[in-house]
């Protein structure tokens, strides 16, 4: 199952003067979503970076349907789009406490060899874990 | 000319451990780009909100081509996509000091009547200023 | 017991190019610490604001002893300093996974009546809950 | 004159639901203040880091007197407290458009040799520039 869900409680400092979560902060929520998705697959993004692979974001799309408010616990649902090769793509749905979808999003990231600074294929040991 | 350009110096706190601007921070750069675009047209977003109209972002797309680093002065070029009605759409290009494009982006915002909380058409006095 | 502790997992976007949590982000960690301290006392800060009382920070002191890194789970220990009147003061200790103190901090906040915009005494119903 | 002043326009995303700049964001304003203070002395913090010296913050104190609002241009006045040795200390005053002091602050930073990860004395070539 290439799907995971985490709760995030909205911080006061994440709101803006409209009284809702500032749209830019959702980038951090997506980042947490895919970090935990990877962790549940047995992949530590932190360890990956220490092993010389980084995963910069090359595209991000966000559609904002509704707002989230301070102290609300939203849920970030992260789903792998397809088997990764050089790129890895995720889709996201963020829902509020009433289970309404407030944000849909997608991101593309690329595996980079930190030594050569060049794109590389997703390592086999990660692919194997993802397929479980 | 529905086009404007502003310089932004990258803050230390906007970098992440990859040593470059964290992708989420570009949302703030775009926000500054369109605020200044509006100001040069004679429209203060701040005043608009005080007059009861807000402009939440309903979609944001970002493509990251290259990185920006600490202390670099990047340029945000903001362009109106078409005459606004209920929605207003902007395209952006962010360039680095070598004049290379590092990020392209687009946003859609919607005019909201703060009293009724309903979408509304772009007010005429704003439309007139934008057409200059 | 006027003491509470919460875990916070460091987000990637909270690091800077030194490879550690940017010092400015600890303000958000302290904010989460006192929000949860209040909640465990039965006080919702969110509800307090809806009831017309806000609690702006009027001073903040931070001493940074060690760094926290990405993906680490730090602990924020929040303690009420003394019985609040117009002001409420908290002390904090943030520890890393090795249980070393990485940050000590204190904040002063003031109860503000949102209608009059004037300082006010901590309401009795809150004082009672805090004394439990 | 060990004193410098820079203007900063408040970004929308820097406000919170109280309608004013979130207190945590002032850390970034102070950082910009000292970066520009150094630059005017002929010292690039960026270059210093590339030369193997970093300057982490070891303490930060902030007193919040008044609020700053969206789109306001505040001024950050940065002053060196005394001749630096292993530590360098700055005092700050942030004023609003009406020239009222809204925040006073101070920070201590320490010179760190990035190779040995040990504190070091402020290099002579920097001391000389600071004394001009």
Return the domain boundaries, chain C: 3-130
Confidence at residue D132, expressed as pLDDT on a 0 to 100 scale: 73
Residues 6+ apart with CB under 8 A from A33: A4, A6, A76, A77, A78, A90, A92
The minimal CB distance from A31 to the residues C13, C27, C28 is found for: C13
pLDDT mean over D11-40: 97
A71/C46 CB distance under 8 A: yes
D70/B28 CB distance under 8 A: no
Write out the H or E segment, with its range, that includes residue D125.
helix D124-130
* A12-28 confidence digits (pLDDT tens): 999 999 999 999 999 99
Confidence at residue D3, expressed as pLDDT on a 0 to 100 scale: 87
Confidence of residue C132 (pLDDT cuts 50, 70, 90): confident
The span from the CA of C32 to the CA of C77, in Å, is 10
A64/B57 CB distance under 8 A: yes
Which of D64, D89, D92, D106 to mutate to probe the C interface, most C CBs <10 Å? D64
The span from the CA of D132 to the CA of D130, in Å, is 5
List CB contacts (< 8 A) between C13 and chain B. 16, 22, 24
Closest-approach residue (CA) in chain C for D31: C24
Q: In what order do the strands lie in the sheet with A118-119?
A: A53-54, A112-113, A118-119
CA nearest to C110, candidates D76, D67, D105, A71: D67
* C53-67 confidence digits (pLDDT tens): 999 999 999 999 999
Confidence at residue B131, expressed as pLDDT on a 0 to 100 scale: 80
The minimal CB distance from C23 to the residues D18, D22, D60 is found for: D60
Closest-approach residue (CA) in chain B for C69: B17
pLDDT mean over A73-93: 97
The minimal CB distance from D13 to the residues A12, A19, A24 is found for: A24
Chains contacting A (3 or more CB pairs within 8 Å) = B, C, D
pLDDT mean over A106-125: 96
Helices (H), D41-120: 45-50
Q: What percent of chain D is predicted at pLDDT more than 70?
A: 99
* C90-128 confidence digits (pLDDT tens): 999 999 999 999 999 999 999 999 999 999 999 999 999
The span from the CA of A79 to the CA of A90, in Å, is 6
Closest-approach residue (CA) in chain A for D25: A13
List CB contacts (< 8 A) between B68 and chain D. none
* D37-94 confidence digits (pLDDT tens): 999 999 999 999 999 999 999 999 999 999 999 999 999 999 999 999 999 999 999 9
The span from the CA of D81 to the CA of D59, in Å, is 14
* B76-114 confidence digits (pLDDT tens): 999 999 999 999 999 999 999 999 999 999 999 999 999
Domain A3-130 superfamily per CATH: Hotdog Thioesterase (3.10.129.10)
Q: What percent of chain B is predicted at pLDDT more than 70?
A: 99
Q: Chains A, D: CB contacts under 8 A, how many?
A: 28
Contact A113, A120 (CB under 8 A): yes
Contact A87, A58 (CB under 8 A): yes
pLDDT mean over A1-6: 86
C12/A31 CB distance under 8 A: yes
Q: Is the pLDDT of residue B132 over 80?
A: no
Residue C95 CA: distances (Å) to CA of A87, D5, D108, D118? 37, 36, 21, 22
Residue C63 CA: distances (Å) to CA of C23, C67, C68, D2? 10, 11, 13, 25
Contact B112, B57 (CB under 8 A): no
Write out the H or E segment, with its range, that includes residue A87.
strand A87-95
CATH 3.10.129.10 fits B3-131, yes or no: yes
Confidence at residue D1, expressed as pLDDT on a 0 to 100 scale: 60
Confidence at residue A1, expressed as pLDDT on a 0 to 100 scale: 60
pLDDT mean over A103-125: 97
CA nearest to C28, candidates A96, D55, A6, D28: D28
Q: Is the pLDDT of residue C1 over 70?
A: no
Q: What percent of chain D is predicted at pLDDT more than 90?
A: 93
CB-based contact (8 Å) between C101 and chain D?
Answer: no
* B59-73 confidence digits (pLDDT tens): 999 999 999 999 999
Which of B10, B20, B22, B68 to mutate to probe the C interface, most C CBs <10 Å? B22
ipTM of the complex: 0.95
Closest-approach residue (CA) in chain D for B45: D71
Confidence at residue B73, expressed as pLDDT on a 0 to 100 scale: 98
Confidence at residue D123, expressed as pLDDT on a 0 to 100 scale: 94
Closest-approach residue (CA) in chain A for B49: A18
Confidence of residue B116 (pLDDT cuts 50, 70, 90): very high
Over the Cα atoms of chain C, what is R_g? 16
B17/C22 CB distance under 8 A: no
């Amino acid at each position: 199952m290439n799907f995971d869900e985490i709760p995030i409680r909205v911080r006061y400092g994440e709101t803006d003067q409209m009284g809702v979560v500032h749209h830019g902060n959702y980038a951090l929520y997506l980042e947490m979503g895919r970090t935990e998705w990877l962790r549940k697959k047995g992949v530590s993004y932190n360890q990956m970076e220490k092993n010389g692979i980084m995963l910069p974001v090359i595209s991000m799309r966000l559609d904002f349907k509704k707002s989230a408010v301070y102290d609300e616990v939203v849920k970030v649902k992260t789903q792998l789009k397809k088997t990764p090769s050089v790129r890895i793509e995720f889709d996201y749905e963020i829902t509020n406490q009433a289970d309404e979808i407030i944000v849909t999003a997608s991101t593309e990231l690329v595996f980079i060899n930190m030594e050569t600074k060049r794109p590389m294929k997703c390592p086999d040991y990660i692919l194997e874990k993802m397929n479980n």
